[in-house]
Amino acid sequence: MDGLEAIETINSWRRILIEGKPEHVDRMLDDVETRLREKGWARNPDLEAKMSRSTDRTKRWLCFVGGPQDGPQLMLCLRRVSDRRVRGGTYSLLNGPLGMQPTDVAEVVEEVMNGAVTPSASAFGLKVTIPRLGRNSRVPPKTLAALLLFSDLAAGAFPLSNELEKIWRRFVINACREDAALDIDELSDWFVTNGWSSEAAHALTERFISEAGLITEYDDERGSGQ
């Protein structure tokens, strides 16, 4: 594993998505805690409480602290974003030996993912993916947060309900305000990976192109008239 691969592995923690039946998600989270505890990791309830206060309180945070002896000590969090979904959350390097490299950190993240999270999810029949918008897209923070919220609440639903339409519009508006650059193929792949059929993903992508274009055209017209 080289440096770039190490960074990609570390970043993949934040992108991991686990989904399935609520009761299976419940059991998986308990099992992940057991697996990590056996590896020397421990929950951090103080940090979990802090994360819950600073974000949407409907999301349950599980934050684990640990790492190999004489190696990197990390904090890795999971977010229960809905009854059917868990996403990777915050990652922090707490401590490490002199001369530590990104590959050392990546190996710890990889061990948690491959040695605890993924096998636990598989044991309970849950789907594990790592959705991402590729290198051709530039997605500012508010736009990404709005896209994640829409993806988690909609979870493949199509057509959209009135409530989901409001959340969809917030995503499109944020993308326009922040001048996000979303590659069309990557956006469509994102929708598919997050639970939509290929047909629904295509329809949502076409909607985004049309609606974002109208907003941009309106803003240009308004600006030229001032």
Least confident span in 53-62, 171-180, 200-209: 53-62
In a domain, 204, yes or no: yes
CA dist 202 → 45, 194, 214 (Å): 42, 13, 18
Tell which residue, 202, 121, 191, has the closest CA to residue 156. 191
Report how many domains make up the chain: 2
Mean pLDDT of the chain: 89
Residues 94 and 47 in one domain: yes
Q: How far is CA 67 from the centre of its chain?
A: 22
Q: How far apart are CA 160 and CA 168, in angstroms?
A: 9
Whether residue 68 lies inside any domain: the answer is: yes
Instruction: Give the angle 79-62-75 at the CA atoms, nearest 5°.
Output: 105
Q: What is the pLDDT of residue 223?
A: 60
Range of the domain at 116: 3-129
**Which has more confidence, 122 or 139?**
122
Pair (146, 47) in one structural domain = no
Q: Quick one: pLDDT band at residue 135, thresholds 50, 70, 90?
A: confident
Are 12 and 111 part of one and the same domain? yes
Are residues 29 and 75 part of one domain?
yes
Angstrom distance (rounded) from CA 50 to CA 73: 20
23 lies in the same domain as 112: yes
What pLDDT is attached to residue 90? 84
**HEC secondary structure over 49-77:** HHHHHHCCCCCEEEEEEECCCCCCEEEEE
Alpha-helix residue ranges (DSSP H) falling in the chain: 3-15, 22-38, 45-54, 102-112, 118-123, 141-154, 162-177, 184-193, 198-224
Which residues on adjacent β-strands are paired with residue 76? 64, 91
Q: Which of 84, 100, 129 is at the close of a domain?
A: 129
